[in-house]
Amino acid sequence: MADGGALSHRRVLKIALPVVLSNATVPILGAVDTGVVGQMGEAAPIGAVGIGAVILSAFYWLFGFLRMGTTGLAAQAVGAEDEAELAAILSRALLIAGAAGLALIALQAGLFAAAFRVSPAEAAVEDMARDYMAIRIWSAPAAIAVYGITGWLIAQERTGAVLAVQLAMNGANILLDLWFVLGLGWGVPGVAWATFIAEWSGAALGLWLCRGAFAGEAWRSVERVFDGARVRRMASVSGDILIRSVLLQATFVSFLFFGADLGTVTLAANQVLLQFLSVTAFALDGFAFAAEALVGRFFGAGDRARLRRAVVLSGVWGLGMAAALALAFGVGGAALVALMTTSPEVRGEAANYLPWTALAPLLGVWPFMLDGVFIGATRSRDMRNMMIVSFAIYLGAVAVLLPAFANHGLWAALMISFVARGATLGARYPALERAAQGGSGGRPPDPRRAA
């Protein structure tokens, strides 16, 4: 495995842009899912597809660590030129995905009951949502496997292949939505079957794009795939990332809960404005993924100088994107809010807090890009610990600012959480560089090395 060529702006963009394009298909799919059931002329089917998709996404999201952990470990194997370990990492990821998917299938009755106990719905909506989820759950192994496949491809800077998988999967889903629901009249189950087929098709295409890993013997070597040290390392990285992700999600969920106490209109305005943060995340994903792939590669190779250059190049583009988003939100934020809601009250309330959405990309880009750097270096313990510190700072800020400044205080606390994540991870960056000196060669790190 070569180093992939010159480390340049062009190389960063080659990794990042397909991811940005891939992410652009996600809201389109959601709009089509909603639109086709909306043609049935009833509210219940729309609600059923919406709540069913949210519940399943929450279950699958728990295994999002598989994408990030696989990227870091596989990128380091690329840097260490260890093709056998690269193939074995893919096998481990697929085994985890299969086991997780089968567990969700086996436990579906209890999981669905618990979900509706937490988030109850009208009887008609719940019945249709259960029908929807009972179909889609059977593609859980495929949906989770796509996380691992995506991470493995990103590690090799093959984001064009990631784009191909997403376009094929989402494109098939949209076409099947139209056929099953509008053509055959299958209703809510038609949307579920469309997604079921699309997810299995996406996993199959992803495996075909990874076929090079199956050319040798390493992918099926029991001794290598189940090597104790490597399995423990993957488990440790995955566990740390899971804790970090749960706390990050808790930040945004609690933000909505705290806002709910300020009234329905304020809650609705916050929900609308959080979509600006979702756009920011989608736009910055590509540059964070570039950092993951390049930092992981040079960390595995022990090339400290190129690792630093990878951080700088990906960071420059991430900052440029953040500045563009801040400008767009500052100039066109009111128009975007008007597209998302027709309520004069919500529009007026959201206008009061639009400046925060323009500030968010400029403050959020630092933790976002550093997450990519630390994922690539598999410094997951730092990510976990700094997230714990940042979450505590966020809660403290809420306790102080919310009573004093109401919703402005809540938004200020969220911005403080971004600054805290960026500052704490930045403080740990020198240790990351020291750990890269000499390289790990894609092997489990020596515990005697600098922490």
Q: Are residues 179 and 252 in the same domain?
A: no
DSSP state of 138: G
For residue 180, give the DSSP letter: I
pLDDT of residue 87: 97
63 and 135 both lie in a single domain: yes
CB-CB contact of 426 with 370 (8 Å): yes
CA separation for the pair 68, 93 (Å, rounded): 11
**Is the residue at 367 inside a domain?**
yes
pLDDT values of the chain reduced to their tens digit, one per residue, 451 residues: 556 678 999 999 999 999 999 888 877 777 787 778 878 777 788 888 888 888 898 899 889 999 999 999 999 999 999 999 999 999 999 999 999 999 999 999 999 999 888 777 788 888 999 999 999 999 999 999 999 999 999 999 999 999 999 999 999 999 999 999 999 999 999 999 999 999 999 999 999 999 999 999 999 999 999 999 999 999 999 999 999 999 998 998 899 889 888 888 888 888 889 889 988 998 999 999 999 999 999 999 999 999 999 999 999 999 999 999 999 999 999 998 888 788 889 899 999 999 999 999 999 999 999 999 999 999 999 999 999 999 999 999 999 999 999 999 999 999 999 999 999 999 999 999 999 875 444 444 443 333 3
**Cβ atoms of residues 28 and 171 within 8 Å:** no
Same domain, 63 and 93: yes
Q: Between the CA of residue 325 and those of 25, 216, 322, 425, 433, what are the distances in Å?
A: 19, 45, 5, 23, 30
41 conformational bin, left if phi > 0, alpha if psi -120 to 50, beta if neither: left
Q: Do 89 and 64 fall within a single domain?
A: yes
- Are 197 and 310 within one domain? no
Domain extent at residue 19: 13-226
Q: Tokens 């600054």 belong to which residue?
A: 419
In this structure, are 65 and 208 located in the same domain? yes
Last-in-domain residue among 226, 255, 271: 226
How many domains would you assign to the chain?
2
- CA-closest candidate to residue 437, choices 270, 276, 302: 302
Q: How many residues does the chain have?
A: 451
Q: Which residues of 8-19 are buried (b: 16+ CB within 10 A; e: fewer)?
A: eeebbbbbbbbb
Q: What type of residue is 70?
A: T
Do 297 and 198 lie in one domain? The reply is no
Among 182, 199, 226, the domain boundary falls at 226
Q: State the chain's maximal CA–CA distance in angstroms.
A: 65
Let me know if residue 8 belongs to a domain: no
User: 160 with 264, same domain?
Assistant: no
Residues 276 and 177 in one domain: no
Judge contact between 147 and 66, C-beta under 8 A: yes
Indicate whether 318 and 204 sit together in one domain: no
Contact 370, 314 (CB under 8 A): no
DSSP assignment, residue 446? P
- Those residues whose C-beta lies under 8 Å from the C-beta of residue 38, and which sit 6 or more positions away, are 45, 46
- Do 337 and 240 sit in the same domain of this protein? yes
Cβ neighbours around 211 below 10 Å, total? 8
What tokens appear for 435 in the block? 């750990």
Single-letter amino acid, residue 193: W
Domain edge (last residue) among 226, 259, 290: 226
Asked if 395 and 409 touch (Cβ cutoff 8 Å), the reply is no
Indicate if 60 and 96 belong to the same structural domain. Answer: yes
What is the pLDDT at residue 367?
Answer: 97
